[in-house]
Amino acid sequence: MKDLKYLLFLVAVLCVYGLWQHNSQNRGSGEGITTTETDQVAPPIATDQDLIQQRATVADVWPLMETCKRMGQKPVVIQGTVLVWDMESGMVSPIQGMLPAMLQPASSDLHMTIFMLTKRSEVVGNYVNRANKENISSATQVWADFAVVYWPEKRAIGMCSIPGPPPSQTITVRNGSRVEDHKQPDWNSTIATYIIYNLPRR
């Protein structure tokens, strides 16, 4: 009886080991694993040296902003990795951290697409008091206006404008302060999603 129990125990151990080995092989080969681009390994945390290098790179292509503006809206194809730089703050945009690992720049990259960000507010309507039909305030939508440059060629591609989330359909005014009745999607994640899924790559 003890021998039978021992035999069953060995069989169970071997089965568990076989299953573990099979899963390990699948993890290594990628078989049986489905991920989206946003599920990939989180982007590496930029070091101070990375930031210095990125700032120097943007400073090198910054004069091309005016060229991009003169070119106007152009189709943008992502070449290599992506750097999203906020021209107002002089820092990497929070959008950068929302991009998948495959688009994150590294020192060894041969090609990079630089998006120099400025924001633009556009009035898309007015909020009206339901009681007296008077205008309360403007409904605005914030756009991302990007001057796009290829690096290291330092070639201006043109402008790429991406709409942020639309304003809430209704607002409530309490004690002089307006409150949106519907929670809007995060602005940065909306722009990041557009870059990931709507801009072609090569």
**pLDDT tens-digit readout, 55-90:** 888 999 999 999 999 999 999 999 999 999 999 999
C-alpha 71/C-alpha 151 separation (Å) is: 18
> For 143-175, how does the pLDDT look when each residue is reduced to its tens digit (9 = 90+)?
999 999 999 999 999 999 999 998 887 777 776
Q: Which helix (H) or strand (E) holds 53?
A: helix 48-61
Predicted pLDDT of residue 176 = 61
Judge whether residue 38 has pLDDT over 60.
no
Q: Which residue has the higher pLDDT, 201 or 182?
A: 201
Question: Phi and psi dihedrals of 109, rounded to 5?
Answer: -65, 140
Question: What percentage of the chain reaches a pLDDT higher than 90?
Answer: 48
Q: Of the given ranges (14-23, 94-103, 157-166), which has the lowest mean pLDDT?
A: 14-23
Q: What is the DSSP letter of 1?
A: -
Which residues are within 8 A (CB) of 92 and not within 5 positions of it... i.e. 6 or more apart?
A: 46, 51, 54, 83, 84, 85, 86
Quick check: 52 pLDDT over 70? yes
**pTM, two decimal places:** 0.70
Q: Which two tokens stand for residue 51?
A: 């930031």
CA-CA distances (angstroms) from residue 172 to 127, 136, 145, 159? 10, 10, 30, 36
